[in-house]
Structure 1
């Protein structure tokens, strides 16, 4: 790996000098200069902003074809490709107003096009939009996207669900690499803090062609925050308070960019007490989180590189029911202490008409679980006490993953684009505690793929691709004695292979209806937990038994998306049908072991179908008014007619939002009221119970307050305004009849120096 990095740096330093630049002036339709327009290249990870007279200059651009995006709030985004060959280009731009909807560049798809140009429909939610909702965690925040839900265990632990599929079927990418943090476990969250991210993109459907195994159900692509514009330095402070959990979330970030170098650093600390229902607090659902994000970018001639590091420590209480009512934040047992290190290195080498991307990643996940309470001994300090506890973790697993992803963009031939790629990972899991959930193991992945895009005209595009993958899993044999019983983890040595393919078509019908049709198949190799588990998972209150006879899950999904967009009205309809072979699921055996019900992994063919439908009205001339509505539904069934477990209830979400501003001291002001209606869920599996319908009312207000030369971004969100008693169908605490959170008032303030 070190030699490869040195070679890439050598390429950058020795590349032929290229003094390319892009400059010009940006105005509105009235020929008035626009100040603060962001000019940015996702390929280069660099950008600048327009000056007081609307002029801009972006320097040190490599030779070849580079896509530049022009973004300004309240105006339509413009994405344009420029071809540089040791020259300077002047490009003046007139931006059109668009207070209705912003067309954004999508990074998770192969050719990084604007959403309107993509063959595959991808949903995107910005970090600011997530924080405005008052969500406690990132996983909770993305549930505002139609078709996305979460399986939750209290306020701190959430697992994303995309159209009824969850767990390892939803692949998470952060910093451009796979997130590998023992995500098979339902008893811990994403392990990603929403501070220091730019936004999140959601692919709903099999994306195995681009991402390999585990992308069978969809992909969450988390974008890290951008570096500062060239030759600027910024300090950002963010503080939020949560009334329900008496929680705080504080974040401080520093960004600075020079001509060739860019730097950023952000530290975040969050602390929450037990969450409160309308009737009681749920004991030991408290949690704490520490998060550090660092980044360095370098650009020289025909080479760019970006190194990022993220450390996240999460301490999560695991509730065992309603007990002592307290507002304390110290942890009772059982609880988890999880450390996650993510290191990513992204390199782009630009040739005359093509480009090579090489992404390297290394993650270390250390998961510890404490089952007995440790009191302070006489004379013992807090630090010594914590070290004493850490040394006695009953469960202690360390997962190390090295991943690589290479993509070669062939020279563009007319309107035909081709991408070749190879991906893989090497992963080891090692146990250090007396208890085991999964054995010591080694996993090796390798995949190769190609995909192509062809634009027939300005309205019609085709995209297709094929991929081959291999996953090899080997484990050690273990015998664990627990309460006079022996739990045996048998050694396995297995290999899983699969071909995947996709085809997509986008066109405009009658020049007003954007229609997308996508057919794709995906696969997922069984994970270590499904193959080898033999013990109690405290976060889910189950004794899980693996099945080493499991085979690949495979699916074939058909998607149809229709969008109508005018200046003041948007209408969308997304339908899907997903056929799954050898669907893996947990089923109760009726036995009890270690005082927990025993579940085992089985396979059965299944199908899921449904969709998302909605509209967004922005009536003229009431430019300050927005009415949004969406309905989402999914039905999941096994081939024997039984319903699949953990399928979200149908939901109807309506939001009325107003926008306002004052030229003197208030900008981008907003106020909103939303009604989220969740229907009764009767389509339940054999070991689930139905869930009653309920309605939640949420309020939001905020805006940018100008004081002197400083801008303070403020927000106030009140979720579950009427303190409604309810239990979400996807709550893991539902079986214990424990309610979800009651009213939560979230106050936030952010400013940049």
Structure 2
């Protein structure tokens, strides 16, 4: 291994010093110059923008074939593969207007192609689009993607659901590495702030071929914000105010880039009080606050690029137990609450070796999760002092934490791109992790454990005419080794037996994309996935206060495996876009939790079982941009999913069918408002009557949302502003996936959000 690393460093140090560059001019179809066009090289993670006269230059490009993308809002993306066999290339580009979204490069796919070129349809949503929705958290914001929902606990905790699958069945990637933060718990959210995120990509379906175990249901891939363009610098300030929670989200970032070196840093602070329901009452202890810091540095020189990023996030989350209890707008947490520290360090590297390429991603995450329940250091009648100071006292060295778990994960991912042979691209790689979980609190949810993963895979893509065929195979193994624990709780002895188990699986995928006509594209994909049982499912033996039940693990559980069939049809002309995405997902040995009817430690007992199951449904819709009303857009989408066990019971936590209709206008007002927009959205959620054994039915409801904003220029001051009003009519409703539904607690009422963003 040491020899291999030294070889990589030699490649970096002794790479050729040719100063290859590409320059040119970008215009529209009438030869008018276009400024601020984004010029990006996905392989190099570098880019620049065009000047006022449309000219651009990008230097220090390795001597090989490189794909360069030219993208600009309102215009079709142009992608060019350039052979840098000579040092200086001159390239002039014309962009054609389009009413629909930019054709973005998809990073989560194996070959980093444009969305229109991908065999698998992957949804993408920019951070700017998420913020326009007025979402309180990132998990809430991604629910604007058709087929994506969230299991929520109040306004602060959201767990993504992709086509009915959630928890450890949805893998989250951030900074190019997998996020591990004790995500097995029902009240455990993402732990990622949306500041410093440029976009979100969602793979809907098994992606185990590229990502291994836990990607059985799909992948949520978070792309970090880009560095500044070459020889540029930028300071950014943003602030959002949330009327419902009296909350704020303030972020400031700075970027500095030279031709070879790039730096960025961003700090964010979030603070919210309890959320208010339409009855004007507040749900006690749904308050939360968050501190987030992100920084990064990148270096690129000829045949080597490297990027290092670090993210620290501290979240303090109230856990509602009283429901509608003490009414307060205080932002100081009440017990019980969680304090979660998340450290993410990643290294992302590319080595260009002739016409081949080696990607090497290394990651280290450290998750420290504490849960505070009762005061153990106060006398019965002693008055509490300032709660913030009290929180800090409790957090020192875990003092007062009833539950504390530290999860350390080292991950690696190496991918080798073979030289392209005609129209065939081949990618092979190895991937794995080493993980330890250690308990420090007086209570135990899961035992101390060590987990090791290793996987090897290969995939190939063949393109001809307007068709693409992609196939791949992978083998994975996972070993789980736990310690034996004996925990005495209120006179009862709970024993966590030691486990030493290994799980392995083969997974495959096959996909085909074809352009039936110039306007009609079809994609057909079939893929298998797997998920090894997690620690909670194997070894739980006690009351889980976040769910209010006594959970018993089952160390006889086997791998979950699934096979999903996807059919995607897309018809697009200059003025209308139609899409239909259907899927059928067969799950073998689906793991679920079921009540036994017993009571232990004053809580109902639930145990983990397995049963074959299936999910099926899809997303369907259109986007109309009528001529000559170029300022008008009408978007409509319907999504449905049904989940059933083979024994006839319905699966739990399946989102209700929904229909979303948006009327959006785009406009400019003289020179002071550019890229202005106004939107009105009606989201109709149907009743959910297909419920599992321990769920209740949920009635239908309709929510009306409004948005307005744009880029504003006043004298020499430029900034963007947006106003959103969600649940305008203050509708009383309960979402089927709300964890507060069992207590009859309503979801959030009207929420008016005002946001501003300055670039200096």
TM-score with structure 2 length normalisation? Answer: 0.97
> Structure 2 vs 1, CA of residues 249 and 123 (structure 1 numbering), >3 Å: closer, same or farther?
same
Deviation at 1:64, TM superposition (A): 1.9
> Structure 2 vs 1, CA of residues 723 and 349 (structure 1 numbering), >3 Å: closer, same or farther?
same
The DSSP-based 3-state class of the residue aligned with 1:116 is helix
> Structure 2 vs 1, CA of residues 322 and 593 (structure 1 numbering), >3 Å: closer, same or farther?
farther
Is 1:662 aligned with 2:669? yes
Q: Which one of 373, 398, 408 corresponds to residue 406 of structure 2?
A: 398
The residue number in structure 1 matching 2:577 is 570
> Structure 2 vs 1, CA of residues 598 and 378 (structure 1 numbering), >3 Å: closer, same or farther?
closer
Report Cα offsets for 1:5-32 as digits up to 9, x if no partner.
6654442122121211111111111111
Report Cα offsets for 1:327-370 as digits up to 9, x if no partner.
11111111000000000001100011110000000000000000
Deviation at 1:614, TM superposition (A): 0.2
Deviation at 1:380, TM superposition (A): 9.0
The residue number in structure 2 matching 1:557 is 564
Supply the distance in 2 between the matched residues of 1:324 and 1:421 (Cα, whole angstroms). Answer: 55
The DSSP-based 3-state class of the residue aligned with 1:329 is coil
Contact kept in structure 2, 1:438 and 1:528, CA below 8 Å: yes
Is 1:308 aligned with 2:316? no
The residue number in structure 2 matching 1:127 is 127
Report Cα offsets for 1:576-632 as digits up to 9, x if no partner.
000000000111112222332221111000000000000000000001000000000
Q: Which one of 713, 719, 723 corresponds to residue 726 of structure 2?
A: 719
Deviation at 1:539, TM superposition (A): 2.2
Q: Which one of 701, 707, 716 corresponds to residue 700 of structure 1?
A: 707
Contact kept in structure 1, 2:72 and 2:102, CA below 8 Å: no
Supply the distance in 2 between the matched residues of 1:663 and 1:264 (Cα, whole angstroms). Answer: 34
Contact kept in structure 2, 1:710 and 1:752, CA below 8 Å: no
The range that moved more, 129-138 or 16-25, is: 16-25
Deviation at 1:707, TM superposition (A): 2.0
Deviation at 1:173, TM superposition (A): 0.4
Supply the distance in 1 between the matched residues of 2:75 and 2:241 (Cα, whole angstroms). Answer: 32
Report Cα offsets for 1:25-54 as digits up to 9, x if no partner.
111111111111111112212111111211
RMSD of aligned Cα (Å): 1.5
The range that moved more, 10-19 or 513-522, is: 10-19
The residue number in structure 1 matching 2:97 is 97
Contact kept in structure 1, 2:427 and 2:458, CA below 8 Å: yes
Supply the distance in 2 between the matched residues of 1:378 and 1:175 (Cα, whole angstroms). Answer: 41
> Structure 2 vs 1, CA of residues 708 and 699 (structure 1 numbering), >3 Å: closer, same or farther?
same
Deviation at 1:3, TM superposition (A): 8.3
The range that moved more, 185-194 or 120-129, is: 185-194
Is 1:358 aligned with 2:360? yes
Is 1:593 aligned with 2:593? no
The residue number in structure 1 matching 2:69 is 69
The residue number in structure 1 matching 2:194 is 194
Q: How does 1:420-459 map to 2 (within 5 A)?
A: 420-457=428-465, 459=466
Report Cα offsets for 1:622-657 as digits up to 9, x if no partner.
010000000000000000111000000000000000
Supply the distance in 2 between the matched residues of 1:4 and 1:752 (Cα, whole angstroms). Answer: 43
> Structure 2 vs 1, CA of residues 714 and 94 (structure 1 numbering), >3 Å: closer, same or farther?
same
The residue number in structure 2 matching 1:15 is 15
Contact kept in structure 1, 2:34 and 2:50, CA below 8 Å: yes
The range that moved more, 576-585 or 529-538, is: 529-538
Report Cα offsets for 1:446-477 as digits up to 9, x if no partner.
000000000021x1110000000000000000
Report Cα offsets for 1:384-421 as digits up to 9, x if no partner.
76134442211110000000000000000110000011
Contact kept in structure 2, 1:19 and 1:86, CA below 8 Å: no
The DSSP-based 3-state class of the residue aligned with 1:165 is coil
The DSSP-based 3-state class of the residue aligned with 1:168 is helix
Is 1:324 aligned with 2:332? no
Is 1:291 aligned with 2:292? yes
Contact kept in structure 2, 1:283 and 1:324, CA below 8 Å: yes
The residue number in structure 2 matching 1:739 is 746
The residue number in structure 1 matching 2:518 is 511
> Structure 2 vs 1, CA of residues 380 and 314 (structure 1 numbering), >3 Å: closer, same or farther?
closer
The residue number in structure 1 matching 2:757 is 750
Report Cα offsets for 1:196-245 as digits up to 9, x if no partner.
01100000000000000000000000000000000011000010000111
Q: Which one of 672, 675, 678 corresponds to residue 682 of structure 2?
A: 675
Supply the distance in 1 between the matched residues of 2:421 and 2:2 (Cα, whole angstroms). Answer: 35
The DSSP-based 3-state class of the residue aligned with 1:530 is helix
Report Cα offsets for 1:161-211 as digits up to 9, x if no partner.
000000000000000000000111111210111110110000000000000
Is 1:164 aligned with 2:171? no
Supply the distance in 2 between the matched residues of 1:268 and 1:603 (Cα, whole angstroms). Answer: 42
The residue number in structure 2 matching 1:536 is 543
> Structure 2 vs 1, CA of residues 394 and 70 (structure 1 numbering), >3 Å: closer, same or farther?
same
The aligned length equals 752
Report Cα offsets for 1:683-735 as digits up to 9, x if no partner.
01111111000000001111110123332110111000011110000111111
TM-score with structure 1 length normalisation? Answer: 0.98
Contact kept in structure 2, 1:18 and 1:85, CA below 8 Å: no
Supply the distance in 2 between the matched residues of 1:710 and 1:61 (Cα, whole angstroms). Answer: 36
Contact kept in structure 2, 1:64 and 1:351, CA below 8 Å: no
Deviation at 1:322, TM superposition (A): 2.1
Supply the distance in 2 between the matched residues of 1:156 and 1:416 (Cα, whole angstroms). Answer: 46
Supply the distance in 1 between the matched residues of 2:540 and 2:65 (Cα, whole angstroms). Answer: 50
> Structure 2 vs 1, CA of residues 411 and 317 (structure 1 numbering), >3 Å: closer, same or farther?
same
Q: How does 1:71-470 map to 2 (within 5 A)?
A: 71-85=71-85, 87-279=87-279, 280-320=281-321, 321-373=323-375, 383=389, 386-390=392-396, 391-457=399-465, 459-470=466-477
Contact kept in structure 2, 1:369 and 1:395, CA below 8 Å: yes
Contact kept in structure 2, 1:276 and 1:282, CA below 8 Å: yes
Contact kept in structure 2, 1:348 and 1:358, CA below 8 Å: yes
The DSSP-based 3-state class of the residue aligned with 1:450 is strand
